[in-house]
Structure 1
Amino acid sequence: MAASPVQVTGTVLTTRQVDAYHALTVVAPGIADRFRPGHFVTVAVGGPGSSMITRRALSIHDVTPDYGGTVELVFSVRGPGTAWLAGLRARDTLDLVGPLGRPFPLPRDPCTCVLVGWEYGSAPLFALGDVLQRRGCRIDFMLGAKTADRVFGALRARRMAETTTLVTEDGSLGLRGTVIDVLPGVIADTRADVVYASGPMPVLRGATAVAVEFGIPIQVAVEESMACGIGICMTCVVPVIGEDGVTRMVRACTEGPVFRGERVRFGDVGTIPFDALGAPGGRHA
């Protein structure tokens, strides 16, 4: 479902630290009422005089109708842009464009859904879980991270889901390992009909392999660097196999960020496969 994005000047309502992450709740009418789970926004960083020209793409964790519509954004400080965002306070303003991207497709009939997230990449799965439950679906959460403080949303997941499986690489919370290690058991135990996954490429690649092995569909929200978020700069292209069997370099910001997992060529991410449409020396239109 495509939504017409809008550009708004939002007012920061609250800021909070969530373990290793930062959360901003921003009053953003127009974005909130167009939102579907899986959408994201881009935000201008650094203030009016900043040399940081490119926007930062952030997943939408949640929306509410309060104050005409609010969006909550969750992020990790990775550089000067996100450090600037982390320094915002209530009543500061923020320039946002959204909602952007292709949201998660929803099942037509009630079914059992396993939601798999890694670190703060799990943020968009909670709004998805709410919608799935309203459609009569059962949801089971799997959340993982390197360490306990980097697991995002464990308490909310436990409140929402039939079961919640927590996994950390160092064993500081839940099981020791990765979500991929325990995903087969969760799919088997829940008799899952579909997997939804959000996080870094290695996690999505592993989750897709497991889902394919079980013969169930998987929808993945990819994490790719986006400089514009609206399909112009081509920094976020990903090799994806189309319905016609042809690989194309598609933009995660417009054709994604949600894709059918089995159609993403995860092993070729970061390259242009020789057989992709339009590749040098390869297939041509």
Structure 2
Amino acid sequence: MAHPVQTEAEVLSSTAEGAYHRLVLRAPEAAPRVRPGHFATLAVGGRHSSMLLRRAFSIHRADVEAGTVELVIAEQGHGTGELRRARPGDRLDLIAPLGTPFPLPDGPVSALLVAAGYGIAPLLALGEEIKRRGGQIGFILGAPTVAQLYGVEQARALTQDVLVVTEDGSAGLPGPVTEPLAQAIRAIDATVVHACGPMPVLRAVTGIALDLGARCHTSVEEAMACGVGICMTCVLPVVGEDGVSRFVRSCTDGPVFDGARVRWNDIGTVPADLEGAAAMGVKG
């Protein structure tokens, strides 16, 4: 469970990195609370801005000694464009850390980390932590084109087991990021797969991992309006430990979920057997 703080974070650096932008923020109260898989939200445009909703980003890294939090941003609209233009010395309203992080192993494990695009942002710190606990890791990093890859050299600094995949074949192997997944799981005898990326990728990764007997933990990319569990816009159908399916919030119960419990094919619908579906007017 996250214990977030709201703080006015100073921008220390704002750097273009390929198709993305990396923000380093001074946030000494937030940094010690961050675990791999947590996310942060930033207010956009100041207190008089018409952009009322915060923007949510996976936390790339947190440095306790430096008191910093790093975010990787893809410019997709006015809000992210405003954040991309932040300069050193600017101050941003930050809430962090938020959400449920990746579960950490009690001891050594063999883990495969799978990312699409800048989905690698939370996985590098996770890989470092798994290695610190005596485990071994491998990466599959995919993107539509070479320009949309991120963190390849950072991953190679952690392990020699790094596969790069691009849909157009402009770098590494050609095809979708899931293409070499089964082979990679077998190659490092992975018992757990951690993944971050678009929903179709996570659905496919989960299915392949489970078929091969590996656990799968997924950090979902679901649109969030509030980020703190109030608005209910980021709900997903998930099977609980009691076997009952319910809508749960990506921002508080996630963004990291046991992939085996997410009802991937029912996302965007109200399944008739979902607890409370009758009250929503859905008939079986």
TM range (shorter): over 0.9
**d(CA) in 1 for partners of 2:36, 2:163:** 22
Question: Where do residues 92-107 of structure 1 align in structure 2 (5 Å cutoff)?
Answer: 92-107=90-105
CA deviation map 1:178-202 (0-9, x unaligned): 1111101101111111100011101
The residue aligned with 2:11 is: 12
The residue aligned with 1:271 is: 269
**d(CA) in 2 for partners of 1:14, 1:169:** 32
Write the letter of the residue equivalent to 2:206: T
Displacement of 1:150: 0.6
Write the letter of the residue equivalent to 1:243: E
Question: Where do residues 81-230 of structure 1 align in structure 2 (5 Å cutoff)?
Answer: 81-230=79-228
Aligned residues of 1:198 and 1:222 also touching (Cα < 8 A)? yes
TM-score, normalised via structure 1 length:
0.96
Displacement of 1:120: 0.8
Displacement of 1:245: 1.1
Aligned residues of 1:275 and 1:282 also touching (Cα < 8 A)? no
How much is the aligned-residue C-alpha RMSD, in angstroms?
1.1
Displacement of 1:65: 3.0
Question: Where do residues 34-73 of structure 1 align in structure 2 (5 Å cutoff)?
Answer: 34-67=33-66, 69-73=67-71
What secondary structure, in the 3-state scheme, does the structure 1 residue paired with 2:95 have?
Answer: strand
**d(CA) in 1 for partners of 2:256, 2:34:** 14
**d(CA) in 2 for partners of 1:42, 1:269:** 24
**d(CA) in 2 for partners of 1:83, 1:47:** 14
Aligned residues of 2:191 and 2:213 also touching (Cα < 8 A)? no
Displacement of 1:225: 0.5
Displacement of 1:162: 3.6
**d(CA) in 2 for partners of 1:133, 1:272:** 40
Displacement of 1:3: 2.6
What secondary structure, in the 3-state scheme, does the structure 2 residue paired with 1:157 have?
Answer: helix
Displacement of 1:239: 0.5
CA deviation map 1:118-138 (0-9, x unaligned): 001111001101111100010
User: In structure 1, which of residues 204, 228, 231 is the aligned counterpart of residue 229 of structure 2?
Assistant: 231
Write the letter of the residue equivalent to 2:135: C
TM-score, normalised via structure 2 length:
0.97
The count of residues paired between Structure 1 and Structure 2 equals 281
What secondary structure, in the 3-state scheme, does the structure 1 residue paired with 2:100 have?
Answer: coil
What secondary structure, in the 3-state scheme, does the structure 1 residue paired with 2:157 have?
Answer: helix
Q: After the TM superposition, which segments of 4 or more aligned residues of structure 1 sit over 2 Å from their partners?
A: 280-283
The residue aligned with 2:28 is: 29
Displacement of 1:216: 1.1
**d(CA) in 1 for partners of 2:48, 2:107:** 51
Extract unaligned runs of 5+ from structure 2: none
Displacement of 1:281: 4.8
